[in-house]
Amino acid sequence: MQFKKSDLLHTLPTQFFASLVSKVAAIAAQGHDVINLGQGNPDLPTPDHIVKKLQTAAENPINHRYSPFRGISDLKEAACEYYKREFGVELDPNKEVAILFGGKAGLVEIPQCLLNPGDTVLVPDPGYPDYLSGVALAKGKIERMPLKEENDFLPDYRDLSRNALEQAKLLFLNYPNNPTGAIATKEFFEETVELAKKESICVVHDFAYGGIGFDGEKSVSFLQIDGAKEVGIEIYTLSKTYNMAGWRVGFAIGNESVIEAIELLQDHLYVSLFPAVQEAAAEALLASQESVEKLVKTYESRRNVFIEGLQSIGWDVKAPAGSFFAWLKVPKGYTSEEFSDYLLNHAHVAVAAGIGFGEFGEGYVRAGLLTTEERLLEAVRRIESLQMFS
């Protein structure tokens, strides 16, 4: 017997990365060595001291029981201490922190917490595809905010219609940005706070790549801006900063009413994370950050090798300011998908087509700096052999 999916499931957007994975797998199945720069999966291991903390905590029988519904206080306090140390932001661990099953879970939950059917959400384009998933589940409406190179890939709020601003309940932002690698300024976030107050919009800043900034620049937290906690929250994940993608742990911080809404929804979905994972996450936030400094240097070195290599073969590309992605202009005569398919089929180099991140991603491809410098240089050599830029 076959049961039909609900109407709600049919409203979900197509999973763009599932298609990419299938294409890569098909080429690899033919025996080709594919250099996969198409996905955002960190390639380096979690630092040893975090793994050892998990091992020790997992041996403690108290952690074999259900976790407290809203997470252990040690992790919430660690998140607050981390933000005070790194960004000078003061937080109340009891009211302004919610533990998440990874950043993605929080991003998908937020629309369900705050929207009613038909409410409008302002979403960056290009942007992380799962913003759309949460809005679909909440039966909301999408209003896209173009991220254009001439505006440093920041949305220009003056381009939004009066109707969109009046109807908007949520505003998603993400800096350092996926997929463009752009960073935000304090001035831009100040403008955002002013807009949010004026229009009564809740800001959700996806700070997934907050630990990865280049050229000596430290990323700006949205919550560093005066008044930010009044109008929104920030979502932080340990996936990128600590190579803990598979651990599925993060947190939301900021506006008390939004945090309470997240906690309430999660009361009905989960009994929080495995406590040993929470203890290990607290260790990551509070222990020496030497591993983070080393990781950032690794990504910066990879960035320099890859971008300089592409420039040397005549490809007009710019270096990202943050994240572990490069946003590369497609040569004339190709769509982003045509070009990414061409690289995969003829150079066996996988990149993500910009159109997968939204209409304004057309004309670009995204490449992840998630392999060794040797493999990145090999990718450059393979692309050079196509003689597309000579």
Query: What tens digit of pLDDT does each residue of 142-193 get?
Result: 999 999 999 999 999 999 999 999 999 999 999 999 999 999 999 999 999 9
Question: What pLDDT is stored for residue 367 in this prediction?
Answer: 98
For the 64-286 domain, the top CATH level (class) is alpha beta
Question: What pLDDT is stored for residue 13 in this prediction?
Answer: 87
Q: Residue type at 243?
A: N
Q: Are 123 and 131 in contact (CB under 8 A)?
A: yes
Cβ neighbour number for residue 51 with a 10 Å cutoff: 15
Please give the span between the terminal C-alpha atoms of the chain, in angstroms, as a whole number: 58
Please tell us whether the domain made up of 7-46+290-385 is placed in CATH 3.90.1150.10. yes
Q: Where are the domains of the chain?
A: 7-46+290-385, 64-286
Q: Are 127 and 358 in contact (CB under 8 A)?
A: yes
Question: What pLDDT is stored for residue 111 in this prediction?
Answer: 97
Q: Residue 74: phi, psi to the nearest 5? A: -60, -40
Question: What pLDDT is stored for residue 2 in this prediction?
Answer: 92
Question: What pLDDT is stored for residue 21 in this prediction?
Answer: 87
Q: Residue 320: phi, psi to the nearest 5? A: -70, 150
Cα 223 from Cα 278, distance rounded (Å) = 23
Question: What pLDDT is stored for residue 14 in this prediction?
Answer: 81
Count Cβ atoms within 10 A of the Cβ of residue 252 and give its class: 0-12 exposed, 13-18 middle, 19 or more buried.
buried
Question: What pLDDT is stored for residue 19 in this prediction?
Answer: 80
Question: What pLDDT is stored for residue 287 in this prediction?
Answer: 97
Residues of the chain with pLDDT under 50: none
State the DSSP H helix or E strand holding residue 272, giving kind and residue range, or none if neither: none
Model confidence over 23-73: pLDDT tens digits? 999 999 999 999 999 988 999 999 999 999 999 999 999 999 999 999 999
β-sheet with 364-368: strand ranges across: 325-329, 364-368, 352-353
Q: Residue 263: phi, psi to the nearest 5? A: -60, -40
